[in-house]
Amino acid sequence: MVYLIGFLIALAIGLTGVGAGTLTTPLLILIVGLPARIAVGTSLIFGAAVKIITSPVYMARRQVDWRTLAFMLAGGVPGVLIGVFLLRGVDPKAITGVIGATIVVVALFNLFRPTTANRHDRTKWLTLVALPIGTEVGFSSAGAGALGALSLLSMTKLTPAAVVGTDLVYGLVLSLIGGGANAALGTLNGAVLGHLLVGGVPGAIFGAYLAGRLPSKPMRMGLSGAMALLGVSLFYKGFF
């Protein structure tokens, strides 16, 4: 089962840039039965590994805007460290409920992305926006894909493909830092991570190959619906 989870999540990441934390963490809690802190740390490392595979595809296509990425990382890197620190002092059940609520919000944002028409370039403000996104990633492992893409679509004039590529590299850096910090603190399940990667590596390669060849909107709608259901389930598990 864990192998299949890894394959499907990696496939979603490769196709849309979204799904690393918003799918992995709730599935690890609800299906595998991991504690919330362990699920977050494991999810971050898994997301980083998948994005290491998928990001070079977008780099090779010149679909990563490095200047924009620098503004995002200036806020996101300190944010993710803050999030990891906050995770240490919260009750486990509350963590589960907050992660669930966060995933529902992320799913809604992902459903109602702005159009690419009539956008203004506010790239220099991305640092301020990326700080809370990074904090959310460090705390719950969720948000880098959907919220990062939403910010890029709202505040830059990047093409949709460049949005996905830039956001993937942004999520990669945050996942590496957040996952590394969690691993150092012992909040990581190596056996589950290994199983996820066995399924995730071929899923990531397949997803990156199909990226741009399949219609993105229907996939995003379906993915957001699944994310919302998982978020509601986690919220109920944490607070009721």
Q: What is the pLDDT of residues 53-111, one digit of tens each?
A: 878 888 988 989 999 999 999 999 999 999 998 888 778 888 889 889 988 888 887 77
Per the prediction, the chain carries an average pLDDT of: 86
- Comparing 86-100, 111-125, 146-160, 163-177, the range with the smallest average pLDDT is 111-125
Task: Report the alpha-carbon angle 8-10-11, nearest 5.
Answer: 60
CA distances from 171 to 80, 94, 165, 166, 211 (A): 10, 25, 10, 9, 17
Neighbours of 184 (CB within 10 A): 11
* pLDDT, tens only, 19-53: 677 888 899 999 999 998 899 999 999 988 888 88
Q: What's the predicted TM-score (pTM) here?
A: 0.85
So where are the chain's domains? 2-239
